Amino acid sequence: MKERIERLKKLTYIPQNEIAWLIEQAELSVKQQEIIEENKRQQEVTVHQFRQAQKDIQHLSGESSRYKQALEKIITNLNFAITVAQNELEGDAK
C-alpha cells in the first residue's frame, strides 16, 4: 500500500480507478479510527468497573469483619448467659 501511495504522489494526473481506491482507503481509515475509539471507550468503562468492583470488595470485606466481631461478642455474651443460667440451676437444685 505504501508503494502505491508513493507512486500516486508522483503522478500529475490521477486515474479514476486510483481515486476510487484512495476514497476506499480513506473510508477504511475512518472506520478503523472509529473502531479504535470505541475500543478505547470500552476499555475505559472496563477499567472503571474493575476499580469500582475493587472498592466494593474492600467495603464488603470491612463489613464482613465488623459483622464477625459483633457475632463473636454476641456468642461470648450468650456463653456467659448460659454459664450464669447453669450456675443458677445448679444452685437451685442443691
List of residues 6+ apart from 18 with CB closer than 8 A? 8, 11
pLDDT band at 51 (very low <50, low <70, confident <90, very high): very high
Q: Which residues of 13-23 are buried (b: 16+ CB within 10 A; e: fewer)?
A: eeeeeeeebee
pLDDT band at 93 (very low <50, low <70, confident <90, very high): low
Tell me the three-class secondary structure of 44-67, residue by residue.
HHHHHHHHHHHHHHHHHHHHHHHH
pLDDT at 62 over 90: no
> How far apart (Å, rounded) are the C-alpha atoms in residues 89 and 94?
9
So what's the pLDDT on residue 32? 97
